[in-house]
């Protein structure tokens, strides 16, 4: 830009020959117009021009955002310093005087363009760095010896809620924003820097101007003087709040139970391991309580899993309230919550009691937990009652590592549950022996059918009016090479608990039906084969179909099969039981209530069921001629059954006095040792084949 045409032509030709593309303007207004239409890399300006001189044009160019960095070369014939000074004040990058040395002009232009490119590259790097720091939420600070002020970057100021326009602050400003629970830790870190100039990176919490907690990470680099003391400190401060929250979330997912927010098994084992190491150093005792909620499955099944989840959450809260502060072992740094309680899964919880003085201390806590959990709860409109069974293991006598302590406390809980529930039980070595025996029994029982270890014994039943054998009851027996003969009272409950009763029950029913059919073919007249049915079998959806299939396979007439069902089973699900019984009755089988008198049946409901027979439980028969109450119950059952059109059989008859009493009360049938012990198939077959008919007068 120059108002002198000759100068414009000479400058243009010189620069064009050097390889540049040139735009010309004769005054400032025209120059501004050309600049706005083109992407200009460098501008030469003559100082003295009419209307808008070079100084004013330079100022106007610099006011434009896109003109802030473009190189401007002032050309002037003036050689006074004031003009040069004014040129730089207006924003000129460099100047050259007239008359112009065109060789020098070319070099001057090339230098300015190269410098401009470097500056542009530097600005781009700064922009990228600023963007990266903003995205990473990273700021910096520095401190120089001799001044007690920190220079803070905009990012640090924004983190702390300080005015970014004030870049220098007293050193204590950052320290005052440190979370009070991290202040000692940060003070120690600062001392390390002052004393040696070396420091590790640290993470801690800050409180910003709005009172929000931020997690930050700081790193420092120190420049030391000749004496080894810090003369300059350069520090970075990065906001890692989002990262820390994400880590905490991952930690929660990995180590806490999502339903109750309690530690899970893995975290609890880690806490227990830490507590054990501390107890070993202190030579102190430690107790572990293992809890299981009694009948939790029943609540889940009847009220739904939603109510079950609410119950687990309520249990967690009650456990927290039950365990006092001095019962706890450690705390989660993030949540500052008691970590002595954990949910291991399902309805199993653990409580850790460190540094107890006596084992009785654990019993006190167990009783407190029992009292708390036993209080009624209202969940989703349902009043719920729950009790815990608690096992207690004590370090060091019951185990010195987490796995052993948990296993032994679990074992003690198992025995507490089987002793009647809502109890606590301390572990002792005999429990291991019992558990080992039970495990061995379970493993052997699983193979009993395929090894042909099961057998059926048969106990005859006598019809009192006719004096004839009217039926037999099939009773399972088990003899194992390792365990010997295992009593039914031991292996039948185990089969019920493990679910093995279903295949065992199927084998029993099929074998009994085959035996009854064999007797029928050989002419042995047994009118009825009675088979006990477990609750687990009875509630199977296809139980009736399964009975029909076995009858068809064996060819036994349905009327020759009697299924015995316990009285308590009818009370658990009256509607379902009634439907299943009616389906069985439609098949033609006979139905009996076993152990009658022990389940407190609803008599009106009982009257509606398609039953054939009631069996008076042996507990009432045992002293029927000695205890008036037993005699009254037996008499009432016989009279009630007669009024309902049902037959009555009394089991457990062991002597003649009992027999005469029952005959006098018109009991229909008896069963017991007085008549015969249960016998294997060959012996009962021989007995039935050779036994003459008994008559009333024979007794």
Please tell me the distance from the alpha carbon of residue 216 to that of residue 189, in angstroms, as a whole number.
14
Instruction: Please check whether residue 696 lies inside any domain of the structure.
Output: no
Q: Which of 82, 108, 132 is the endpoint of a domain?
A: 132
| CB-based contact 411:431 (threshold 8 Å) | yes
Flag the least confident range among 269-278, 465-474, 574-583.
574-583
Q: What is residue 100's DSSP assignment?
A: P
pLDDT at 419 over 70: yes
- Tell me, yes or no, whether 20 and 104 share the same domain: yes
* Residue 155 sits in the same domain as residue 127: no
Any alpha helices (H) in 18-69, and if so which ranges? Answer: 28-37, 54-63
Query: What pLDDT is attached to residue 455?
Result: 95
**Are 580 and 678 in the same domain?**
yes
480 plus 569 within the same structural domain: yes
Domain count of the fold of the chain: 4
Q: What are phi and psi of 367, to 5 degrees?
A: -65, -40
Residue 161 lies in a domain: yes
Three-state DSSP at 485 gives strand
Residue 328 confidence class, pLDDT cut points 50, 70, 90:
very low
Indicate whether 10 and 78 sit together in one domain: yes
Confidence at residue 507, expressed as pLDDT on a 0 to 100 scale: 96
CB neighbours (10 Å) of residue 127? 10
Structural domain includes residue 251:
no
Residue 14 and residue 43 in contact, taking contact as beta carbons nearer than 8 Å:
no
Residue 175 located in a structural domain: yes
For residues 430-448, give the mean pLDDT.
83
- Secondary structure tally for the chain: helices H, strands E: 26, 26
pLDDT above 70 as % of the chain: 92
pLDDT tens digits, 298-325: 888 888 889 999 999 999 999 988 885 4
Q: Where residue 53 sits, what CATH number does that domain have?
A: 3.40.50.2300
Report the 10 Å Cβ neighbour count for 296: 18
Position 330 pLDDT exceeds 70 = no
d(CA 536, CA 499): 8
Q: Are residues 269 and 366 in the same domain?
A: yes
pLDDT value for 696: 40
* pLDDT higher than 70, residue 79: no
User: Residue 149: helix, strand or coil by DSSP?
Assistant: strand
Query: Which of 198, 245, 202 has its CA nearest to residue 224?
Result: 198
Q: What is the mean pLDDT of residues 87-93?
A: 87
Mean pLDDT check: name the lowest of 75-84, 114-123, 515-524, 580-589: 75-84
Q: Which residue has the tokens 């320290």?
A: 175
| Whether 302 and 354 share a structural domain | yes
Residues 686 and 651 occupy one common structural domain: yes
pLDDT of the residue at 697: 41
Kindly state whether residues 552 and 618 are assigned to the same domain.
Answer: yes
Q: Do both 408 and 448 map to the same domain?
A: no
pLDDT of residue 390: 94
Task: Decide: 423 and 392 in contact? Cβ < 8 Å.
Answer: no
The verdict on 585 and 642 lying in the same domain is: yes
What is the chain's Cα-based Rg? 48
Q: State whether 379 and 355 are in the same domain.
A: yes
pTM of the model: 0.53
699 in any annotated domain: no
Residues 6+ apart with CB under 8 A from 313: 259, 260
Each residue's pLDDT tens digit, 195-250: 766 677 888 888 887 888 888 888 888 787 777 777 778 888 888 888 888 877 88
Contacts of 67 (CB under 8 A, 6+ apart): 35, 61
Q: Which two tokens stand for residue 248?
A: 């905490």
Which residue range forms the structural domain that includes residue 44?
Answer: 5-132
Cα separation, 563 vs 554, whole angstroms: 16
Average per-residue pLDDT for the chain: 85
Determine, yes or no, domain membership for 512: yes
Range with top average pLDDT, 175-189, 507-521, 629-643: 507-521
Select from 427, 455, 475 the last residue of a domain. Answer: 427
Residue 371 has pLDDT above 60, yes or no: yes
User: Quick one: CA torsion of 555, 558, 562, 563, rounded to 10 degrees?
Assistant: 90
Confidence of residue 670 (pLDDT cuts 50, 70, 90): very high
Among the three residues 108, 132, 156, which one is the final residue of a domain in this structure? Answer: 132
Q: How far apart are CA 441 and CA 69, in angstroms?
A: 90
User: Residue length, the chain?
Assistant: 699
The pLDDT-based confidence of 74 (bands split at 50, 70, 90) is confident
Helix (H) or strand (E) holding 481: none
Of the candidates 15, 86, 23, 100, the one whose C-alpha atom is nearest the C-alpha of residue 57 is 86
Phi, psi of 531 (to 5 degrees): -130, 130
> What's the mean pLDDT in 249-273?
86
Of 431, 439, 560, whose CA–CA distance to 494 is shortest?
A: 439
pLDDT of residue 597: 62
pLDDT above 90 for 291: yes
Is residue 434 a part of any domain in this protein?
no
For the chain, helix, strand, coil in percent to 5 are: 50, 20, 30
pLDDT reading at 329 higher than 60: no
Backbone φ and ψ of 225, nearest 5°: -85, -175
- CATH classification of the domain holding 319: 3.30.70.270
Tokens of 478: 């088990």
Both tokens of 579, joined, read 């439907």
Segment 479-487 shows an average pLDDT of: 92
């Amino acid at each position: 830009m120059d108002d002198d045409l000759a100068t414009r032509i000479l400058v243009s030709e010189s620069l064009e020959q050097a390889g540049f593309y040139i735009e010309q303007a004769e005054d400032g207004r025209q120059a501004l117009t050309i600049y706005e239409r083109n992407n200009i890399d460098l501008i030469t300006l003559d100082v003295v021009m009419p209307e808008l001189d070079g100084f004013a044009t330079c100022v106007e160019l610099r006011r434009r955002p896109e003109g802030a960095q473009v190189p401007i070369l002032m050309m002037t014939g003036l050689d006074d310093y004031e003009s040069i000074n004014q040129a730089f004040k207006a924003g000129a990058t460099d100047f050259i005087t007239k008359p112009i040395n065109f060789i020098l002009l070319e070099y001057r232009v090339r230098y300015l363009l190269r410098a401009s490119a470097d500056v542009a590259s530097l600005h781009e790097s700064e922009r990228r760095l600023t963007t990266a720091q903003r995205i990473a939420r990273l700021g910096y600070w520095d401190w120089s010896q001799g001044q007690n002020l920190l220079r803070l970057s905009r990012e640090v100021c924004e983190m702390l809620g300080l005015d970014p326009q004030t870049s220098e602050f007293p050193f204590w400003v950052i320290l005052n924003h440190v979370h009070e629970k991290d202040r000692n830790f940060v003070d120690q870190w600062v001392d390390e820097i002052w004393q040696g100039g070396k420091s590790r990176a640290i993470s801690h919490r800050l409180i910003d101007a709005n009172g929000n907690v931020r997690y930050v990470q700081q790193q420092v680099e120190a420049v030391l003087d000749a004496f080894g003391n810090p003369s300059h400190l350069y520090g970075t401060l990065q906001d890692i709040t989002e990262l820390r929250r994400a880590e905490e979330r991952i930690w929660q997912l990995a180590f806490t139970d999502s339903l109750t927010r309690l530690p899970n098994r893995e975290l609890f084992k880690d806490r227990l391991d830490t507590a054990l190491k501390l107890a070993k150093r202190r030579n102190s005792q430690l107790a572990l309580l293992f809890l299981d909620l009694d009948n939790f499955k029943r609540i889940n099944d009847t009220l739904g899993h939603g109510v079950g989840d609410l119950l687990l959450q309520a249990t967690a809260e009650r456990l927290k309230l039950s365990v006092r502060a001095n019962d706890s072992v450690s705390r989660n740094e993030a949540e500052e919550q008691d970590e002595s309680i954990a949910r291991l899964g399902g309805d199993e919880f653990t409580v850790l009691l460190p540094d107890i003085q006596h084992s009785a201390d654990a019993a006190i806590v167990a009783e407190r937990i029992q009292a708390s959990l036993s209080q009624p709860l209202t969940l989703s409109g349902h009043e719920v009652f729950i009790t815990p069974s608690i096992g207690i293991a004590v370090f060091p006598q019951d185990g010195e590592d987490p796995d052993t302590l948990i296993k032994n406390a679990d074992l003690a809980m198992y025995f507490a549950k089987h002793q009647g529930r809502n109890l606590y039980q301390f572990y002792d070595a005999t429990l291991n022996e019992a558990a080992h025996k039970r495990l061995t029994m379970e493993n052997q029982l699983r193979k009993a059918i395929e090894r042909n270890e099961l057998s059926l014994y048969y106990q005859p039943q006598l019809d009192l009016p006719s004096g004839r054998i009217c039926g037999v009851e099939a009773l399972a027996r088990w003899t194992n090479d390792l365990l010997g003969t295992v009593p039914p009272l031991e292996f039948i409950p185990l089969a019920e608990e493990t679910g093995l009763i279903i295949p065992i029950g199927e084998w029993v029913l099929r074998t009994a039906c085959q035996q009854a059919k064999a007797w029928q073919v050989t002419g042995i007249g047994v009118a009825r084969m009675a088979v006990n049915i477990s609750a687990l079998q009875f509630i199977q959806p296809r139980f009736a179909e399964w009975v029909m299939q076995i009858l068809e396979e064996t060819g036994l007439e349905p009327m020759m099969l009697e299924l015995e069902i316990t009285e308590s089973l009818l009370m658990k699900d009256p509607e379902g039981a009634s439907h299943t019984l009616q389906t069985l009755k439609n098949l033609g089988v006979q139905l009996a209530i076993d152990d009658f008198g022990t389940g407190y049946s609803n008599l009106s409901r009982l009257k509606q069921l398609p039953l054939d027979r009631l069996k008076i439980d042996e507990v009432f028969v045992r002293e029927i001629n000695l205890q008036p109450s037993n005699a009254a119950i037996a008499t009432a059952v016989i009279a009630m059954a007669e009024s309902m059109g049902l037959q009555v059989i009394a089991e457990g008859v062991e002597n003649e006095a009992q027999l005469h009493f029952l005959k006098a009360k018109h009991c229909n049938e008896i069963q017991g040792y007085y008549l015969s012990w249960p016998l294997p198939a060959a012996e009962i077959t021989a007995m039935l084949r050779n036994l003459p008919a008994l008559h009333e007068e024979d007794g």
